[in-house]
Every structure is written in C-alpha cells, then in structure tokens.
Structure 1
Amino acid sequence: MDVGAAGDGAIGRVTTVVVSRDRALALTRSLPCHAGRVVLVDNGSSDGTAELVRRRFPHVEVVELDENRGATARNLGVHLARTPYVAFADDDSWWAPGALARAAEVFDAHPRLGLLAARVLVGPRERPDPVCALMAASPLPAEPGMPGPGVLGFLACGAVVRREAFLACGGFDDVVFFFGEEERLAADMAAAGWWLAYVDDVVAHHHPTPPRDPAARRALATRNAVLTAVLRRPWRIVARRTLAAALGDPATRRGLLAVPPRLSRALACRRRLPAPVEGALRTLEGL
C-alpha cells in the first residue's frame, strides 16, 4: 500500500465504511490495504470479529451490533462518518492506493455528484467486473459537466457517496435487506436530482469467495428484484418480474415465495419514481 496516499489532504475527506459478518479471516487480509479513516460495522458476528479487529487494527473504529442488519448496517457507518464523502467496502474488498483521494477531488469539483461508481478489479488477476463494462457503455445521456457516464446502478463495494445525498435519500432499506440493495437507492438518488456517474480512474479491488449456495443467492436476488419493483416501479414491471420468477427454475420460484413476508412493508414504503428516472430505467432494461 502507498502509505503516502493516507497523508493526502483529499483522502482525509473520505471515511471507508466496512460491513462484515463472521469473516474475521477475510478482514485480516483486507483491512491492512485501507488508507484513511475506517469504520467497521460488525453485523452480529459470532466468530470474534470485533475483538480481533480491535486487537490487531486499533486504528479501525469498530461498531458491534447484536444482530444482523444486512445492508442497513452501512447506514450506521455513514451516520458515524464525520467526512463529507463515504466509501463502501466489503470484508473482501479494498480501495486502490490514491483512489479515495481521487474520488474526493471528483466530488469537490462536481457539487451535484451524489454517487461515484468505481472500476472494480476482481481477484488476483484483476479482471474488471463485467458490470463496469456496462456502466462505461451506459446509454444514459450524461449531463454537461458530469465526470463520467451516467448510471442508475452500482456495486456497493465499489461506490463512494456524498454523505449528505446518501442520508437524504434514506440509505439502504430493510425491505430488501441485502443483495441487490443498490437498485432502489440509485433510483431514489437520481429522483432527488443527484448525479450518479461511473469514473473509470477510481479503482477498487474485490477478491470474493465463491458462493456456497448459488441457488440460494439466485432465490434471494429474485425476491429482492420483485420487492424493489414493488417499492418504486409501475405495477406492470412488478407483474413482469413476478411472472419471470414463476416461470423460472426452482430457485427463482423459491425466491418468489419469500416475497409475501416482506410485502406489507414494501407497500407501506411504495413511491413512484419521476417519469425521467422511470424512463431511464426502461432504457437500461431494454438493452
């Protein structure tokens, strides 16, 4: 790690929020790669994560939760950040040297920028995540002065947010809870008038472990896609996603069966997006 980057004035304007649960070993590899202030929100771990981090990484501020709060645990980290910008990281990801200083410079130069989506390099071979190619080729029109292609989605472990914008839009929600939580937040930030842009020269590293149960993840993705549609999209989009799940494989049908317990909460929080944002989402879905 370039320790000189940590002393850069710009990086002092960014706090990195890491959320983890029962991944102490992964943290011993990723935390040494972080520069600047780091807040770790321990999501109800039972493997001694909090104690290990306090002992081995005393510079990291540890917040220990007594239960798993999913993606909403990041909201607590953002509230605790005292910097105008907040970078997210998973327990198996970290930001490249100089990346956060560069991100702060981009935010400083673009007051309407609410979220910066970075280039994410995956694994030891550092192959760009396929999502990055999609964001780089975004068909959405970039407004004059925007620092990169306009996007309506992002990878949480490769995103930096303007703290003010994130909190004003409610952060991540407890309806989706985890996995695919980015979709609703991105739409709400755009609806509030904030720019979301892909900036290729801000880089994050991600070394994920293969999912232990791919079918379970597919079921979770299905559940959350339907719930997100209920939260913000027209009913025909809800119907389309529901039908696709019902006609899919056993995993997607299992995900659809997991929707009802969270449906009342989703309906209570339902709010239609402005026409321009809904139109932009349809443009992306049409691809």
Structure 2
Amino acid sequence: MAEISGPSNGHHSVPLNIKDEPTPLTATEPLDCISVPFIQKLIAEVLGTYFLIFAGGASVVVNLSKDKVVTFPGISIVWGLVVMVMVYSVGHISGAHFNPAVTIAFATTKRFPWKQVPAYVIAQILGSTLASGTLRLIFNGEEDHFSGTLPSDSYVQTFVIEFIITFYLMFVVSGVATDNRAIGELAGLAVGATVLLNVMFAGPITGASMNPARSLGPAIVSRQFKGLWIYIVAPILGAISGALVYNTIRFTDKPLREITKSASFLRGQSRSGSH
C-alpha cells in the first residue's frame, strides 16, 4: 500500500494513506492521523469553493459596478488571499482542492482515490454555482455583471495560457503539498501567491481561471458558454502535466538532513527548539 508522509517540522513524519485520505495542501502531523468522514470532506469542498468563487467573483462585479474601485491588481490580490485563507481553513479536512483539475491531477498521480473524484468534482461545481447564484441575487439590474471567464479573440492563445498557468499552479501545489521535504506550513501562502501571480498577468487575456469549477459556476448561472470547453480541458491537462513533471524531480538519494540543512526556516526552528 502506497504511503506519503506529512511535512517534517522537526518531529517525525506521520504516514498518510493515500487510498483513504485526500492529499492536503496544509498537512499537520496530529491531523494526518485523524480519519475525517467523507461527507465532511464534501461539505468542506462545497464551502471552500463557495467562498473562493464568492470573494473572487464579488471583486470582479464590484469593480465593474463601482467605477473600477477595486482595480485589477486588487482583484488579483483578492483571488490570492481567498485561496490562501481557505487552504488554511479546511485543508486539514478535505485537502482544499476546490478545483476539479487539481483533484483529477492528484488521482492521476495516485495521491487521491479515483472513486472519490466524481463526488469531489460535483461538490466543487455545486459550491461554485451557489456562489455565482448568490452574486447574481445580490447584484442585479445595472450591477448585474458576468463574473466568469471569457476567452480572448484567439482560442488557441487562451488555451495555451490556461494550460501554462494551471501547469504552474499544480507544479507548486505538488511541491508544497505532497513532498515531505517542503515546509508544509507555508503551503497556503505559496499556493495563494501563485494564484495572485497568474491572475496578474493572465487575467486580462483569459480571466485566469485555472479551475473548471470557477468557470462553470458563473457560466451556468449567467448562461454564457462561449469558449467554456477551453476552461474545462486546458486546466485539466495543465494540472495533470504539472503534477507528472513534478513527480519526475521529486525523488532523490540524498538524506533529508542534507536537503534541508541550508533552509533558513528549518535552521531557525532548530535553534529555537534547542533553548
């Protein structure tokens, strides 16, 4: 039976059975041992995706409704912050996927059970659709703006960019969430920062979805399906590719102490633990 270990934080690593538990974006050792009922994981995915899409979508709608008061950099920051906050909030419960592409990529690399993928994907799409519906109810009339993603003039350009930025996101997620040599406590910060960076440069072109659920929810509520297939196919392919590529550089013959001895964060922990 394959196992992965939670991040080392100065204590021993605790094995995590990948057939029974999702890959968490913030794994802490005491919680790795706790079996969370599957229904609780699904509820966490619904709530996490709901707040993710609600906050991010609201920043878009408010910016369009209130004379660009949020600004585009502000929108990027909102998306990055809400991802970070929700990863730290429910990552120890459901794994904090909030994204069908991430769930499928984890399953492809055998870090998540395939039998749970359909339920996770449905929960994520449900959360996104409910959030988009809430925004549609709150902002109506002249304030009713589409909070989803639309392709640029070139479908090829949109597809390639969505593939690359999702590859980048999943590569980072694989590094901070599945490799026990990484500093797991910083996973939420790293993933949120990656989302912020991607939205900053790709948002004006594609909307920087990186997430089929993020595009599906607003599209269903507003019935705008232009180029929707791109935001389903490209992120899934990008996420799978990112996870597979990280796996090619994951393994090493070097001992853990040699890999981490130059990490200032770990050295600081060691010094503080010796006093």
TM range (shorter): under 0.3
TM-score by length of 2: 0.26
Q: Which has the higher contact order (CA 8 A, sep 6+)?
A: 2
TM-score by length of 1: 0.25
User: More helix per residue: 1 or 2?
Assistant: 2
